[in-house]
Structure 1
Amino acid sequence: MKNKIFKNSITAVILFFTIVSFPQDKSSSIITLDLFYTKIKSQKNPQIIDARGPEEFALNHINGAVNFNLESKNYAKSVAALDKSKPVFIYSIGAGRSVWLANELLKNGFKEAYSLEGGIANWIGNGKPFYANSKSKLSIAEYNKIIADNNSVLVDIGSQYCAPCKKVKPILETIKAQYGDNLKIVEIDLEDNPQVIADLKTIKVFPTLILYQKGKIVFKKEGLGDLKKDVDGALAQSN
């Protein structure tokens, strides 16, 4: 009966994920990157869970992590294999699935379960060790050259699997149509360029937008916000 209830709750959360994306709300299970990393390092064999889809996990993940696909029929079996007396460290693309899973584990008798604030974006974006199945298409040297060779550069850093990141794309098209060659737009996705994101050591969430002018950062936006208005205002001030 207990397993049936657990399965039903999993089905409900999967349905919820198909409708909306989770906000980065402050849950008791969410901890900062520094604390998450410190706690992991204190464990001999840390239980690290990647709560993203299997295709995301295959592309990149935290070293030593195992994939808990919430849609898998083996999900309950995977949970049962964990040691309830030891901490469980969970992350996802942001802090949606990981928060849900951490809270579920705590409800079901686990002593400690932590969700990483900012998810995989925060981990890789601050240069922590990770696995990637392919080399980045863009190097940090090439990135820096683009910044140096163009007067104004707008960089969009995100992931193909990040719902808010997808909302940035049509806005970028509008900006591109308005400014043309006067503004260089660079789109960097985690799936193609994890090492560049790691080398920047300044990304905490997806999406992150950075506007450079003459090689210097004019603004850095975490999340969508009013991107068009901010770009227009910054460029207007420079003219």
Structure 2
Amino acid sequence: MNQFSHKSFKNSITAIVFLVTTAGFSQNQNAFTLKIDSFSAKIKEQKKPQLIDARGPEEFSLNHINGALNFNLETENYGKYTDALDKSRPVFIYSIGAGRSGQLAKELLKNGFSEVHDLEGGIAAWIGSGKPFYTNLKSKLTLAEYNKIITDNNTVLVDIGSRYCGACKKVKPVLETIRAEYGANLKIIEIDLEESPQVISDLKTVTVFPTLILYKKGKIVFKKEGADDLKKNVNLAFAN
């Protein structure tokens, strides 16, 4: 390869790397996950925010962020919904986690939307931080009742999640193992978004589903997300 060809080859490679980097940067600028405070602040900046709940219709009917529209990639007449949105304005999306909302965000970007934002922690982060929301449910458990359970029992394990959350389902068999081992020595409370949304909001401590909290004599021993090492953490709490 002569000097001129070698130089041209190097320039071509540099140009390709630049284009790939620029494309990646551009996509990151247009679609990225926002934490709850940033997500909420950006929505407030919009006169008529384009806010989408990417969960199923049955989930949406039980609770959702005020002003949200409900559709996802499985929605019938999906194109009709996307056509009603303004591609030049930001779109805000949430689900339970990042699964359905993340897929929808990618699809909207692919179809020419200029700016798409996904909510980190989804509906759990919104309701769990005490933000206003719609619900057609009356919570089975109140904050006062929750606090009484914590006060009246020496050791309490709280599982906060949703029946529609895949990760939450993985917690249940672990809870059964813990319940079988500790029996009456451990009070276990399971709080679902579909049954007690208001107490989740009032606690102002949940940022993602599932959230596990262990109390001992009214004090928090640990708070964690997911079932990983849950049994080990409970065993350590009883050992101390």
Normalized against structure 1, the TM-score is what? 0.86
- Aligned equivalent of 1:130, options 108, 112, 133: 133
How large is the RMSD of aligned CA atoms in angstroms? Answer: 1.1
C-alpha separation between the residues in 2 aligned to 1:51 and 1:178? 39
Q: Report how many aligned residue pairs link the two structures.
A: 211
Other structure's SS at 1:173 match = helix
Unaligned runs of 5+ in 1: 1-26
**TM-superposed deviation, 1:69:** 3.4
| Paired residues for 1:141-160 under 5 Å | 141-160=144-163
C-alpha separation between the residues in 2 aligned to 1:70 and 1:192? 27
| Paired residues for 1:68-147 under 5 Å | 68-147=71-150
Other structure's SS at 1:29 match = strand
Are residues 1:168 and 2:167 paired?
Answer: no
C-alpha separation between the residues in 1 aligned to 2:141 and 2:154? 20
Residue 91 of structure 2 aligns with an amino acid whose one-letter code is V
Identify which range, 107-116 or 156-165, moves more after superposition. 107-116
Q: What's 1:212 paired with? A: 215
Q: What's 2:5 paired with? A: none
Preserved CA contact (<8 Å) 2:72 2:100 = no
**TM-superposed deviation, 1:111:** 1.3
After TM superposition, the runs of 4+ consecutive aligned structure 1 residues lying more than 3 A away are none
Are residues 1:186 and 2:189 paired?
Answer: yes
Q: What's 1:7 paired with? A: none
- Aligned equivalent of 1:42, options 23, 41, 45: 45
Are residues 1:53 and 2:46 paired?
Answer: no
> Once the two structures are superposed, what CA deviation does each residue of 1:92-112 show, in whole Å capped at 9, x if it has no partner?
011111111112212211111
- Aligned equivalent of 1:64, options 43, 59, 67: 67
From the CA coordinates, give the structure whose radius of gyration is larger: 2
**TM-superposed deviation, 1:117:** 0.3
Preserved CA contact (<8 Å) 1:54 1:69 = no
